[in-house]
Amino acid sequence: MFTDSGNERPFVEKLDASTEVVVYAKLPKSFYIPTPVGNYNPDWAIAFHEGKVKHIYFIAETKGSMSTLDLRAIEKSKIACARKFFAKIASDQVKYDVVDSYGKLMELVK
């Protein structure tokens, strides 16, 4: 699996080993959300086994740190736009968020 950053490799390894995950995909650069500050490309689409988690479908942005101080202003703006976008189109089964690890992902979906 091609990964963009050092924190994505351990994330993928945990996804591979997870009994909750049905399938996951690294989203291609051609998948993007247009925002007022430029196109935004989330990192992952993840589907979970129904009944094991609260959100069956998850769109994830992986970052090395959960601190907003570590994000550039443009990144913060794109993430804020993505949150609004997914809030408008998503059901209770779909969740978008930023995670720094598989553990953080599981906190959000359980």
pLDDT of residue 66 exceeding 60: no
pLDDT of residue 64 exceeding 80: no
Question: What is the spatial distance between Cα 41 and Cα 26, in angstroms, rounded to a whole number?
Answer: 10
Q: What's the CATH code, domain 8-109?
A: 3.40.1350.10
- Stretch 6-30: mean pLDDT, rounded? 92
Tens of pLDDT, residue by residue over 71-103, are 688 888 999 999 999 888 877 778 999 999 999
Which backbone phi and psi does 42 adopt, to 5 degrees?
Answer: -65, 160
Q: In the chain, where are the structural domains located?
A: 8-109
CB 22 within 8 A of CB 49: yes
- Stretch 54-83: mean pLDDT, rounded? 82
Quick one: pLDDT band at residue 38, thresholds 50, 70, 90?
A: very high
**pLDDT at res. 99:** 93
Amino acid making up residue 77 = S
Quick one: pLDDT band at residue 65, thresholds 50, 70, 90?
A: low
